[in-house]
């Protein structure tokens, strides 16, 4: 790891990352200390400087990829830049995301629609190229932001308000555990909306019900949909009438998100990031995001070292990983 070895075993000090990335002024609350060992004031100052410099480098990697000729990688960068709230060429990212929304890869298409929610460009969205319900869901959400509130809702967002005879009761603990599992799987790509969307589709297809505070049994999907709308800043749709909802099924994207590498020890994942082939380094970086909730100096060091990789895909993944870690460390 070269000079970054000096960061190991000391206090990681991340200060004012939002200001460094062009996302607003630094505030005292932006100062976060992650204790990983003894440190002197001089070491803290050194790490502060390096973290801020590497945040700038990571943001620069994403902006360069956005402007590059590789449109698929540029679209990846656009997704990351929007998720992280980093200043960039919004006209370029907008055009790339509109095109990616028609991608036949359901995860990419769904994320493109998700990060177009609230953007005027959502009006340009075409019909998805895949019949994956997750893509339909986020495409519906993106369009809903610019459509009048109608008496009926799109099929992609509809929920049968009745409790079916074959409904399956789910406890609060079961629902919380499943949401936590999906949140971890989705964490390399989105903070929460992706996980909520996947859980909504599972609950709707499975006819899950829960007991409300007033003792009624109600479809879980109704509550999850309201949470999803609130999360992305939209007004909840009107209630459906029985019979408005067609056949429903869960999205396979939830299963596709699982990474076998995420079961590996964190120390081994770091070595893979530093020493593996490009495809392995990309997966190892994603696995680190899934498994490291409180990043320390070694995690930052591995991601920062990969910012200098020869492969552009590794650099983009490393940039996303470093900046997600930076947010978690605050």
| Chain segment 155-198, per-residue pLDDT in tens | 788 898 889 888 999 999 999 999 999 999 999 999 899 999 99
From residue 139, how far is each of 186, 200, 255 by CA, in Å? 18, 15, 21
Domain boundary among 230, 251, 272: 251
- Return left, alpha or beta for 219; rule: phi > 0 is left, psi -120 to 50 is alpha, else beta: beta
Strands 168-169 vs 217-219: parallel, antiparallel or unpaired? unpaired
Shared domain for 264 and 246, answered yes or no, is: no
Shared domain for 233 and 274, answered yes or no, is: no
Is 84:46 a contact under the CB 8 Å cutoff?
Answer: no
Shared domain for 203 and 274, answered yes or no, is: no
Shared domain for 23 and 67, answered yes or no, is: yes
Supply the range of the domain harboring residue 203: 157-251
Is 268:276 a contact under the CB 8 Å cutoff?
Answer: no
pLDDT number for residue 237 = 76
The model's pLDDT over 76-132, given as tens digits with 9 standing for 90+, comes to 999 999 999 999 999 999 999 999 999 999 999 999 999 999 999 999 888 777 789
Q: How many domains does the chain have?
A: 2
**What average pLDDT does range 290-313 have in this prediction?**
95
């Amino acid at each position: 790891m070269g000079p970054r070895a000096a960061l190991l075993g000391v206090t990681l000090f991340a200060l004012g990352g939002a200001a460094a990335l062009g996302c607003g002024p630094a505030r005292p609350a932006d100062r976060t200390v992650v204790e990983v060992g003894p440190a002197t004031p001089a070491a803290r100052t050194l790490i502060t400087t390096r973290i801020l410099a590497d945040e700038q480098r990571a943001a620069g990697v994403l902006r360069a990829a956005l402007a590059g000729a590789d449109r698929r990688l540029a679209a990846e960068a656009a997704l990351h830049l929007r998720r992280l709230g980093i200043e960039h060429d919004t006209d370029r990212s907008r055009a790339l995301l509109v095109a990616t929304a028609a991608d036949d890869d359901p995860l990419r298409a769904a994320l493109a629609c998700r990060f177009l929610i609230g953007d005027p460009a959502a009006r340009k969205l075409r019909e998805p190229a895949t019949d994956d319900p997750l893509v339909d869901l986020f495409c519906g959400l993106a369009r809903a932001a610019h459509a009048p509130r109608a008496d009926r809702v799109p099929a992609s967002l509809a929920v049968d308000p009745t409790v079916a005879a074959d409904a399956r009761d789910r406890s609060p603990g079961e629902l919380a555990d499943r949401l936590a599992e999906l949140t971890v799987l989705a964490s390399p790509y989105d903070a929460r909306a992706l996980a909520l969307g996947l859980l909504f589709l599972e609950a709707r297809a499975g006819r899950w019900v829960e007991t409300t505070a007033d003792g009624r049994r109600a479809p879980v999907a109704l509550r999850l949909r309201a949470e999803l709308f609130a999360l992305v800043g939209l007004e909840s749709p009107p209630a459906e009438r029985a019979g408005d909802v067609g056949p429903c099924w869960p999205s396979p994207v939830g299963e596709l998100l699982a990474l076998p590498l995420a079961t590996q020890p964190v120390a081994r994942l770091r070595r893979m990031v530093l020493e593996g082939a490009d495809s392995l380094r990309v997966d190892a970086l994603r696995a680190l995001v899934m498994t490291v909730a409180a990043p320390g100096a070694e995690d930052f060091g591995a991601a920062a070292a990969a910012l200098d990789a020869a492969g552009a895909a590794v650099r983009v993944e490393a940039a996303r990983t470093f900046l997600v870690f930076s947010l978690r460390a605050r």
